[in-house]
Structure 1
Amino acid sequence: MTALHVIGALVAAALLVYLFYALLKPEALQ
């Protein structure tokens, strides 16, 4: 894997975690 693949995977994982957390606790992001 290249650095671009690693960075892309990290960004995608971070976005998924953020979206999952936003769905679970929307009041915490206000």
Structure 2
Amino acid sequence: SIWFASEMKALSDDCEHFVSFPPGHIYSSKS
């Protein structure tokens, strides 16, 4: 699954792996 948060600390208890999402970009599940 993919989770989004404005701050990584919001997900730190639930996620083991993080990837930064560049500002100004759009996420699409098709790509």
> Structure 1 length as normaliser, TM-score?
0.17
Structure with max Cα Rg:
1
Pick the structure with more helix per residue: 1
Q: Tell me which of the two structures has the higher relative contact order, counting C-alpha pairs closer than 8 angstroms and 6 or more residues apart.
A: 2
